[in-house]
Amino acid sequence: MATNPQIPSEPGRMGNDKGPQLVPGMGATKRPGSGVPGVLLAIIVAAALLAVIGYYMPRAPKKTPPPTAAQLPQQPGANQLQFSQLQMTPAPTGGALTLRGQVMNTGGRPVIGATVMLGFQDAQGRVLQAVSAPLIGMAARNNSLATDEFSKDPLKPNDTRPFEVSVSQVPAGWNHTMPEMKVVTVSAEGNQQ
């Protein structure tokens, strides 16, 4: 067993053992800076980029002025259609209702379609429910009424034609009087309102 280690009593006694030494050029390493200037620069660059992006983002659309009266053709209106000879026919079962009558075009343009709102009232005269339905133009053929859509045969100015409005289900509590009928939209050749 080797129990005789040689421990030098003086430095440098055993060969070249001088202890730890510094390598030339590797002096004490310089600790990197705290990075404050770099972080500050990064924040400034990010803020500038956000400002540029915000400037070029799309904004709300710009309002254009409406056309003048000279540019805008006369629009069909709800008062362009006048109704007369109204009759209602409730279905025997199922709660459907059909209104028939005459419609006259008092406007200056041919009508190709219309939608009406029917207001069904309760016993106290309050509107229970409003139902919208298309106005169907009718044509007299062979002494019977046949469906003739306004789009196929427009209702010309100052013309009168039979019409029909159908509701598939009337509201419960309806007082069975003629519902209020109001024109919601009118479509004329070339325009729609």
11 pLDDT band (50/70/90 cuts)? low
* Overall domain count for the chain: 1
Asked, for residue 173, whether it belongs to a domain, the answer is yes
- Conformation bin of residue 157: beta by default, left when phi > 0, alpha when psi is -120 to 50: beta
* Token pair of 70 as six digits: 């000279």
> Vertex 154, ends 183 and 160: CA angle to 5°?
65
For 52-83, what is each residue's pLDDT tens digit?
988 887 776 667 766 555 554 455 555 678 88
Residue 38 lies inside a defined structural domain of this protein: no
Share of the chain above pLDDT 70, in %: 65
| Residue 51 lies inside a defined structural domain of this protein | no
pLDDT bin (cut points 50, 70, 90) of residue 186 is confident
Check which CATH number belongs to the domain holding 105 and give it.
2.60.40
Q: What is the mean pLDDT of the chain?
A: 76
Structure-model confidence comparison of residues 169 and 144, the more confident one: 169
Report which of residues 7 and 49 the model is more confident about.
49
Quote the tokens at residue 40: 């500050």
Neighbours of 150 (CB within 10 A): 23
Query: Is 102 part of a structural domain of the chain?
Result: yes
Q: Model-level pTM?
A: 0.53
Summarised one tens digit per residue, pLDDT across range 124-156 is 888 888 888 888 887 766 545 556 677 788 888
**Structural domain that includes position 164:** 78-192
pLDDT-derived band at 171 (thresholds 50, 70, 90) equals confident
Q: Is 123 exposed, middle or buried (0-12, 13-18, 19+ CB in 10 A)?
A: exposed
Domain presence at residue 43: no
In a domain, 30, yes or no: no
